[in-house]
Amino acid sequence: MPNSSAARPFRVAIIGSGPAGVYAADILTKSQEVSGGDVEVSIDIFESHPAPYGLIRYGVAPDHPRIKGIMNALHKVMDRGDIRFFGNVTYGRDLTLADIRSFYDAVIFATGALKDADLDIPGIELDGSYGGADFVSWYDGNPDVPREWPLHAKEIAVIGNGNVALDVARILSKHAQDLLVTEIPDNVYQCLKSSPVTDVHIFGRRGPAQVKFTPLELRELSHSRDVDIVLYDEDFDFDEASDAAMKTNNQVKIMVNTLANWLAEEHDETRVPASRRLHLHFLHTPVEVMGTDGKVSGIRFERNELDGTGNARGTGEFIDYPVQAVYRTVGYFGSALPEVSFDARRGVIPNDAGRVLGADGAQVPGLYATGWIKRGPVGLIGSTKGDALETIGCLLEDRLNLPVAEHPGEHEIVELLESRGVNYTTWEGWNKLDAHEQSLGASYVPEPGIEVSRERVKVVSREEMVDISTK
């Protein structure tokens, strides 16, 4: 049925309040059609957590200096007052797809990718083998994960050469008191404080010129107090493709030079050894996690060599490392959503430029996707802006031919949530929680001998978050 909503605002629901969802809402409100007055929109964002920001709040290491800038930008968008926020509302539980379609003319899924991609090697299921995404959720205070983490290992392996691998390794190796300037919850601080860790090893399959992290994240490793960075001469092997990348790609050149400088500094005999070490290994492919009595006791790698194209091939040489914990950080993976088709191989909602496709490959009118659930967990956070621009362009192009919402009144979705007893939070509630977390930081009393100023302390209990937001 053609859309006949010209006499009322065009109603759009966005599922997910991370950067992808907020960028989509912002781009829609600033589109030529809306800003020029041809289309009036009414946008509601739904979030399963009581607080907004998704990946920025629960998926990025707290000691990243750029977090604040991104969060401030998202806050400005939401604080304008033209986009409503409904937190603590879970799609598929509190609201079905049929519910949402009856209240909105279009739905945009922006649920991201928060699970760990699998690493299919023997022993990966042993006690002491963890997903990096789970660890990130723990130290970022995600209310849906347990509040304790088993930090008992002295030697740890982190598998992967992306930014998440660096985050995980940096948090594991950093002294806990140096994280007090961030918003980490107290239980995270206490657990990290008792960690006996001495050595954290990061392993990548290819060489220094093929790493997937970025210069900023790499440089942050050197900012950790009393942590030595250890590299190995035999890992600095460059093939023709590596040489070409260093000559033509300034980012690759910067990272290789940074690594090479750190390698040279290792030979400075005047340096005082640190109490902890962060090892960077290249040209290693994991083949088995080894165990003793069901617990991780080591990890075996095959030594690689570059093949001239920048890719790696095995040499048949195997190396064992004694470790008591293994963290896999080989990528994130999306989760299926109720009543929406899902590509289980890629971990995304099947789509054509953001238009959701059904199991038969045909477009499902009124359903759209953006962000990592649309294209997979690749690219930096800023990449989602261009991604959202494409999706919003398709939505606006389709809007006159979409099914019409049966209950388009803005108050009707509120009445439904309340009738079902959903204890939802609002943007005003988030501002209360935000102020409360800042007050916890201002009133924080450090342990004797520690001088620190804290801007905030993150609240992690869902019940407490909802209570503060709704009182």
pLDDT, tens digit (0-9, with 9 covering 90-100), for 305-314: 999 999 999 9
Residue with tokens 């205070």: 141
**What local confidence, expressed as pLDDT, does residue 237 receive?**
85
Query: Percent helix, strand and coil across the chain, each rounded to 5?
Result: 35, 20, 45
Please state, for a pLDDT cut of 70, what percent of the chain lies above it.
98
pLDDT at 4 over 70: no
State the Cα–Cα distance between residues 20 and 61, nearest whole angstrom. 18
Question: What pLDDT is stored for residue 68 in this prediction?
Answer: 73
**What pLDDT was estimated at residue 214?**
86
Average pLDDT score, the chain: 94
| pLDDT higher than 90, residue 196 | yes
- Higher pLDDT: 62 or 271? It is 62
Put simply, whether the predicted model's pTM sits higher than 0.85 gets the answer yes
Q: Identify the residue with better confidence: 235 or 268.
A: 235
Mean pLDDT of 449-468: 94
pLDDT value for 269: 66
Residue-wise pLDDT tens digits, 392-430? 999 999 999 999 999 999 999 999 999 999 999 999 999
Helix (H) / strand (E) containing 77: helix 66-78
Kindly state the average pLDDT of the residues 227-241: 94
Query: Mean pLDDT throughout 183-197?
Result: 95
pLDDT, tens only, 86-126: 999 999 999 999 999 999 999 999 999 888 999 999 999 99
438-454 average pLDDT score: 92
Which of 190, 236, 214 shows the shortest CA–CA distance to 447? 190
Question: Minimal CA–CA distance to 20: which of 466, 431, 379?
Answer: 379
Question: pLDDT tier at 5 (50, 70, 90 boundaries)?
Answer: low
Would you state the pLDDT for residue 1? 41
Q: What is the mean pLDDT of residues 38-67?
A: 92
pLDDT tens for residues 364-399? Answer: 999 999 999 999 987 767 778 888 999 999 999 999
For 366, phi and psi rounded to 5 degrees? 95, -5
Residue 2: predicted pLDDT: 47
- pLDDT score recorded for residue 304: 97
Is the pLDDT assigned to residue 446 strictly greater than 60?
yes
Contact yes or no for 20/371 (Cβ under 8 A): yes
Residue 70, pLDDT score: 87
What distance in Å separates the CA atoms of residue 1 and residue 346, rounded to the nearest whole number?
A: 33
User: Which amino acid, one-letter code, is at 451?
Assistant: E
Give the residue carrying structure tokens 């926020």: 85
Tell me the C-alpha distance between 330 and 165, whole Å.
8
Q: How far apart are CA 129 and CA 288, in angstroms?
A: 11
**What's the confidence (pLDDT) of residue 373?**
96
User: Residue 6: which pLDDT band, with cuts at 50, 70 and 90?
Assistant: low
What integer pLDDT is reported at residue 190 of this predicted model?
A: 95
